[in-house]
Amino acid sequence: MEASSYVINVKDLVKKFGDFTANDRLTFHVKRGEIFGFLGANGAGKTTAIKILCGLSVPTSGFVEVSGYNVKTQSEKVKSSIGYMSQKFSLYDDLTVFENIRLFGTIYGLSSGEIKERSADMLSRLGIEEQRNRLIGTLSLGWKQKLAFSVAVLHRPKIVFLDEPTSGVDPITRRQFWELIYQAADEGITVFVTTHYMDEAEYCNRVTIMVDGRISALDTPSGLKSQMKCDSMNDVFLKLTRPN
């Protein structure tokens, strides 16, 4: 196998829905501790790929290994070593902040002592200790997203998958959100993030750009810009997705 510094190994991943090929022979590797951006227009096949990596969906063919486990045969082990946050907000609206933390903490096998300690730490870092017993449904979208991310990394997973985590939130919140992502990366958590905000792509260590189910570019943001002779990731993206 490839060097063990890779936490995600994908080789010739194909996913078909009937005649439609959503992912066409994807091959890429993600290094431990890096922030890996997964870009593409709507419908390019990003969400399909992320679902396969998380064990939510089974690949039609190809090899996919996440944190050392094969997603086809060891999906339960994959699941306990990752965190996931989808574009659809996914904490329970009718539970309080702490009840959500307790629920997901317990599911990932944290003891009640750990849950207490980590939730206190997390809430003070976010600066919302006093919101501990508020219902999630009464919080603003920005706070919900930041909380959902914090809950997704509560059990210190090897990798966290973020599927368009910042869609629909204001620029300030997006910035704060990326600060949380950097904090997590500093702690050694690999971040796999899809987005279609090109300024966010600049924050990533490496990015891949998907077009029509294929990977059409994979490099660091500066590498891509010089390759394509563009000033910004925005231009790179437009050049790749609309060649004419």
Partner 1 sequence: MRILFALLQKEFIQIKRNKTILRLIIVLPVVQLLILVNAATLEMNNLQIAVYDNDDSALSSRLVSELDASPFFRMSASPPNVESGISQIEEGTVDFLLVITDGFEKDALAGNTSRVQLLANAINSQQAQLGFAYLQQVAHRSMKNFAVEMQGIVPESKISTTSAFWYNPELNYKFFMVPGILVVLVSVVGMFLTSMNLVREKEMGTIEQMNVTPVRKSTFIVAKLLPFLIIGLFELGLGLIIGKLIYDVPIEGSLWLIFGIGTLYLIGLLGLGLLLSTFSSSQQQVTFVSYFFLLVFILMSGIFTSVDNMPEWGQKVNLINPFFYFIDVMRSILLKGAGLADLWRQVGGILFLAVTLVTLAVFNYRKAS
Q: Which of 108, 143, 177, 192 binds partner 1 (CB under 8 A)?
A: 108
**Is residue 126 within 8 Å of 147, Cβ to Cβ?**
yes
Q: In what order do the strands lie in the sheet with 190-195?
A: 82-85, 159-163, 190-195, 35-40, 206-211, 214-219
Q: Which residue, 56 or 218, is less far from partner 1 as judged by CB?
A: 56
Find the binding residues for partner 1 in span 110-129 (CB under 8 A). none
Contact pattern for partner 1 over residues 33 through 72, marking x by CB under 8 A: ---------------------xxx----------------
**CB-nearer residue toward partner 1: 191 or 209:** 191
Instruction: Pick between residue 54 and residue 215 the one whose CB is nearest to partner 1.
Output: 54
103 binds partner 1 (CB under 8 A): yes
Q: Single out the residue of 104, 21, 26, 15 nearest to residue 51, CA to CA.
A: 15
Give the three-state DSSP class for 216. Answer: strand
Q: Is 191 exposed, middle or buried (0-12, 13-18, 19+ CB in 10 A)?
A: buried
Rule CB under 8 A: say whether 104 interacts with partner 1.
yes
User: H or E element: which one contains 239?
Assistant: helix 233-241
Residue 114 in contact with residue 105, Cβ under 8 Å?
yes
Quick one: 17 or 182, whose CB is closer to partner 1? 17
102 binds partner 1 (CB under 8 A): yes
Q: Which of 99, 114, 212, 235 binds partner 1 (CB under 8 A)?
A: 99
Q: How far apart are CA 4 and CA 66, in angstroms?
A: 11
Residue list 68-97, contact with partner 1 (CB under 8 A):
76, 79-80, 82, 84, 86, 88-95
Q: What angle do CA 66, 67, 71 make, to 5 degrees?
A: 30
178 binds partner 1 (CB under 8 A): no
**Which residues form the interface with partner 1 (CB under 8 A)?**
54-56, 76, 79-80, 82, 84, 86, 88-95, 99, 102-104, 106-109, 135
